[in-house]
Amino acid sequence: MAQAKRNVYDAIVVGSGATGGWAAKELTEKGLRVIVLEAGRKTDPVKDYRMLQWPYEVKYRGVKDQTQVFKARQPIQSKCYACTEYANHFFVDDVDNPYTTPNGKAFDWIRGRQVGGRSIMWGRQSYRFSDYELKAASRDGYGEDWPFGYNELAPWYEYVEKFIGISGSVENLPQLPDSVYQPPMALTCGEALLKKAVHANWKDRRVTIGRVAMLTKSLNGRAACHYCGHCERGCETHSYYSSPGSTLPAAAKTGRLTLRANAVVSHLIIDTNTSRAKGVAFIDQTTKKAQEVFAKVIVLCASTIESTRILLNSASRQHPEGFGNSSGALGHYLMDHTYSVSVGGIVPATSKTQTPLDEGRNNGAYIPKFRNVQERHPDFLRGYGIQATVQKVMRPSHLQNISGFGPELKRLIRETPDAPPFWIGAFGEMLPRFENKVTINKNKKDAWGIPVAHIDCQYSDNERAMAKDQLETMVEMVTAAGFEIHYKNGELANPGLCIHEVGTARMGNDPKKSVLNSFNQIHDAQNVLVTDGACFVSQGYQNPTLTMMAITARACDHIVSEAKKGNL
């Protein structure tokens, strides 16, 4: 009996989140037939996006500690602020999707498996890297430079920004290049007080509105944000960037996209004659049947740790230490941002003020890196960014006195005499260290029989010294602004909880020290690319997703050009 002819695509994209959506869009629009493999299900915005759901529609009214509500199946995921009764279905089941860590080295791996991945519930803060980040090693002597500079990446930032829409304001800062902006959101009165105080007291610090992938005017059929304030629950109007709301529909419009949901990728299929990858093996999430798909090009966009897990699980005779690991760098140099050092309290000076749409603006003030810019800090390398919010909310002290409905109730809330609360928190750069790594635990498997990731990661003295400085600088700035401090936290959260994990398959010009070349192709097999956070050489202080998307667009343009030249 003749064997059925297998369907070979031009490209396979693994993952459908922020980078997977961009890979699908770019490759299909350039003429390739692409299949996207997504480990999770398709979502239905009508049923799954709950941005307007009322508290009385959920069991615990959204007020019970979510780590207690979901401790049986999501003990790790529920540590994320967004994994609430309204949105926990966007996060993985920790029991079915386990991983391991060494004793005393906790790592909180936050994941989303559905079409769109974490682009559905991400925070949307979007900042360009500069040469302060891309060439950091040349400045301070630690680690490796990226294999390209800002000038090479800048056109791809602009290309991505024009499509997804970034609201923000021009600041002309060398350590935070400006983007192509939609109109900025407004600072609240309390945030304006902070800005005034900081600019009056410190010439090296700047307060601006957050740069966020959220529309303030309509773009490409997507409506401007209407400020409902619950972005992490899913946005029915697609007013923020998510792949299901923008890049995946653009790819589908070409007629060259096949989207395969519930496809849990286990490993790459190796061509024994060439040592290159010729396809991808996956398990159907619901039937648990093994399947295979083949293509000329494979782009891994499964997220930092997951893409590396796939490569390590693809070990073969030709690639005994994992696919593309001739350098020995695969799995190493894992990074996240330091997270949770913060200060909070109230702003008495703005008790009687109000701000239009104050209750629904899902953004805040931003203070870019100011350490190790002009002068080298004596205690630590690199730097950190600071985010802050001052917004009026319904506070317990006046809840029982508020009555009304609709616009009248909103007016009463905005005009409450209570001082609004503030929060200010720092996100610090974690150094790339060889000992922070991802390996495979062959003794433990997930619900689909795939060996799990073993994550070995901890902070160094550099991050701890930076955290001390973070707390001190935030206290001095809010004190100068007249804020009343009610709590201070100087303790770092477990690595991973910031959800900015990067590294483990870094780029570089030297195949002996890196996994990928400057266009994200694996040195050992250039028809396989990794364009998610795994490719990062260093962390930077900025939120990383915008950079991941720009890198993906750049890599896809290059790979199509190489394919046309016959170089694959």
What was the pLDDT predicted at 2?
40
What was the pLDDT predicted at 1?
35
Q: Which amino acid is at 112?
A: G
Asked if 492 contacts 464 with a C-beta cutoff of 8 angstroms, the reply is yes
Query: What's the token pair of residue 292?
Result: 């295979």
Asked if 540 contacts 429 with a C-beta cutoff of 8 angstroms, the reply is yes
**What whole-number distance in Å separates Cα of residue 157 and Cα of residue 152?**
10
- Torsions phi, psi for 100 (to 5 deg): -125, 160
Listed by start position, the domains of the chain span 1-102+110-126+245-325+505-568
- Strand arrangement, sheet containing 365-367: 208-209, 365-367, 384-390, 421-428, 342-346, 484-489
Name the DSSP class of 474.
H
Pairs from 49-55 (Cβ < 8 Å, separation ≥ 24): 49/233, 49/234, 49/235, 49/236, 50/86, 50/87, 50/230, 50/233, 50/234, 51/228, 51/230, 51/231, 51/233, 51/234, 51/235, 51/236, 52/228, 52/230, 52/236, 53/86, 53/233
Element at 426 (helix H, strand E):
strand 421-428
For the beta carbon of residue 141, count every other beta carbon within 10 angstroms.
Answer: 8
What was the pLDDT predicted at 57?
93
What was the pLDDT predicted at 3?
40
191 closest CA partner among 347, 412, 27, 31: 347
Q: How far is CA 526 from CA 12, 13, 292, 470, 518, in A?
A: 14, 15, 21, 42, 11
Asked if 170 contacts 180 with a C-beta cutoff of 8 angstroms, the reply is no
Element at 424 (helix H, strand E):
strand 421-428
**What whole-number distance in Å separates Cα of residue 107 and Cα of residue 102?**
9
What was the pLDDT predicted at 232?
94
302 closest CA partner among 552, 69, 62: 552
For the beta carbon of residue 450, count every other beta carbon within 10 angstroms.
Answer: 20
Query: What's the token pair of residue 511?
Result: 């195949």
Task: Give the CATH H-level superfamily of domain 1-102+110-126+245-325+505-568.
Answer: FAD/NAD(P)-binding domain (3.50.50.60)
Cβ-count burial 305-316 (b if 16+ within 10 Å, e if not)? bbbbbbbbbbbe
For the beta carbon of residue 359, count every other beta carbon within 10 angstroms.
Answer: 17
Residues in contact with 57: Cβ distance below 8 Å, sequence separation at least 6, in sequence order: none
pTM of the model: 0.95
The count of residues in the chain is 568
Query: What's the token pair of residue 447?
Result: 């619900």
- Torsions phi, psi for 484 (to 5 deg): -100, 115
Asked if 302 contacts 265 with a C-beta cutoff of 8 angstroms, the reply is yes
Asked if 289 contacts 281 with a C-beta cutoff of 8 angstroms, the reply is no
- Alpha carbons within 13 A on the beta-carbon side of 523: 21
Query: What's the token pair of residue 472?
Result: 């001190």
**What whole-number distance in Å separates Cα of residue 79 and Cα of residue 495?**
12
Q: What angle do CA 418, 420, 423 make, to 5 degrees?
A: 150
**What whole-number distance in Å separates Cα of residue 280 and Cα of residue 310?**
10
Looking up tokens 């780029």 gives 507
**What whole-number distance in Å separates Cα of residue 309 and Cα of residue 445?**
12
Per residue of the chain (568 residues), give pLDDT as tens: 344 457 799 999 999 999 999 999 999 999 999 999 999 999 999 999 999 999 999 999 988 999 999 999 999 999 999 999 999 999 999 999 999 999 999 999 999 999 999 999 999 999 999 999 999 999 999 999 999 999 999 999 999 999 999 999 999 999 999 999 999 999 999 999 999 999 999 999 999 999 999 999 999 999 999 998 899 999 999 999 999 999 999 999 999 999 999 999 999 999 988 989 999 999 999 999 999 999 999 999 999 999 999 999 999 999 999 999 999 999 999 999 999 999 999 999 988 776 555 568 899 999 999 999 999 999 999 999 999 999 877 665 555 666 777 888 777 766 767 788 999 999 999 999 999 999 999 999 999 999 999 999 999 999 999 999 999 999 999 999 999 999 999 999 999 999 999 999 999 999 999 999 999 999 999 999 999 999 999 999 999 999 999 999 999 999 999 988 888 7
**What whole-number distance in Å separates Cα of residue 179 and Cα of residue 129?**
11
Asked if 119 contacts 533 with a C-beta cutoff of 8 angstroms, the reply is no
Q: What angle do CA 526, 530, 534 make, to 5 degrees?
A: 135
